[in-house]
């Protein structure tokens, strides 16, 4: 079975997703983008992450641009999320077994993406 990295990275596009004191990212950062449903056959929406499977992932995320001449996609930085926290959230009453990939419910050990 594939072993997922210990952390994933989520870029921070808008500063409204950071607390006023700059120490906490808000849950809104992880809400799926409605526009993603337009490109999916199943109509689900998704939130993108980058798995930290090598040392360049954080730099890649921070320096990502949508095109060669575009501004940085994540001008407000990025957050590193331990996979153990994703596993823990998947046990809460409101989110229990709510982790999916490609429209199929996954066991926590098989997390690939969080879809809503």
Give mean pLDDT, residues 46-70: 90
62-107 pLDDT tens trace: 999 988 888 999 998 888 988 888 778 777 776 666 555 545 554 4
Q: What is the pLDDT of residue 72?
A: 92
CA atoms in the 13 A half-sphere facing the CB of 3: 2
In angstroms, what CA-CA distances link 83 with 5, 12, 51, 55, 100? 7, 18, 9, 16, 14
- The answer to whether the pTM exceeds 0.75 is no
In angstroms, what CA-CA distances link 70 with 12, 43, 66? 16, 28, 6
Q: What is the pLDDT of residue 112?
A: 33
Helix or strand or coil: residue 12?
coil
| pLDDT higher than threshold 80 for residue 8 | yes
Give mean pLDDT, residues 10-28: 86
Q: What is the pLDDT of residue 63?
A: 93
Spell out the domain ranges in the chain.
Answer: 7-115
Q: What percent of the chain has pLDDT over 70?
A: 78
């Amino acid at each position: 079975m594939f072993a997922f990295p210990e952390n994933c990275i989520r870029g921070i596009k808008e500063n409204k997703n950071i607390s006023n004191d700059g120490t906490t990212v808000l849950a809104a950062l992880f809400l799926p983008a409605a526009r993603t449903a337009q490109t999916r056959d199943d109509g689900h929406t998704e939130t993108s992450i980058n798995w930290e499977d090598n040392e360049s992932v954080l730099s890649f995320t921070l320096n990502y641009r949508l095109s060669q001449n575009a501004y940085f996609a994540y001008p407000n930085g990025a957050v590193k999320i331990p996979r153990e926290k994703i596993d823990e959230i998947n046990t809460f009453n409101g989110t229990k077994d709510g982790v999916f990939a490609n429209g199929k419910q996954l066991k926590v050990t098989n997390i690939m993406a969080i879809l809503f």
